[in-house]
Amino acid sequence: MAANSPFTLRDQQRLDGLHPTLKNELAAIFTEMYSLGYRLFVVQGVRTAAEQAKLYAQGRTSPGKIVTNKDGVKFRSNHQPHADGFGHAVDVAFLGTHSPFDEAWPWELLGTKAEQRNLRWGGRWTHPHDAPHIEMA
């Protein structure tokens, strides 16, 4: 991890282009979760329209399960840069003995920490349920 930061260099690279407020809140969440014995990492921050379109195709025109309702063009994801030039969403996962997205991890705790900071947590959504997703409200 970088000095005085809960983020690794790889995390910081993946947070490039993310809104500074979201980065700050995420740093606090990472620190709180670490103090409780859970290490997190950044899966993805900002996405291009092409990356978003590829995810949208998943479960529709390409193999896999549906993971987003945003096509990246007509309906833009909060991962894509907004008018302010920043992405407003991030996906995170856990580091440890289980696979990063295993249901055994304390996703509800992560979501509660995000919501306490006035962020939206994708774990409250039903279709698709997106526990790794945190975004600005």
pLDDT at 5 over 90: no
Q: What are the angstrom distances between the C-alpha of 38 and each of 9, 28, 31?
A: 18, 13, 9
Contact 19, 84 (CB under 8 A): yes
The domains located in the chain, with CATH, are 9-46+81-136 (3.30.1380.10), 48-77 (no CATH)
- pLDDT tens-place string over residues 52-106: 999 999 999 999 999 999 999 999 999 999 999 999 999 999 999 989 999 999 9
Query: What single-letter DSSP state applies at residue 62?
Result: B
What does R_g of the chain's alpha carbons equal in angstroms?
Answer: 15
**At which residue do the structure tokens 């295993």 appear?**
102
Looking at residue 85, the DSSP 8-state letter turns out to be S
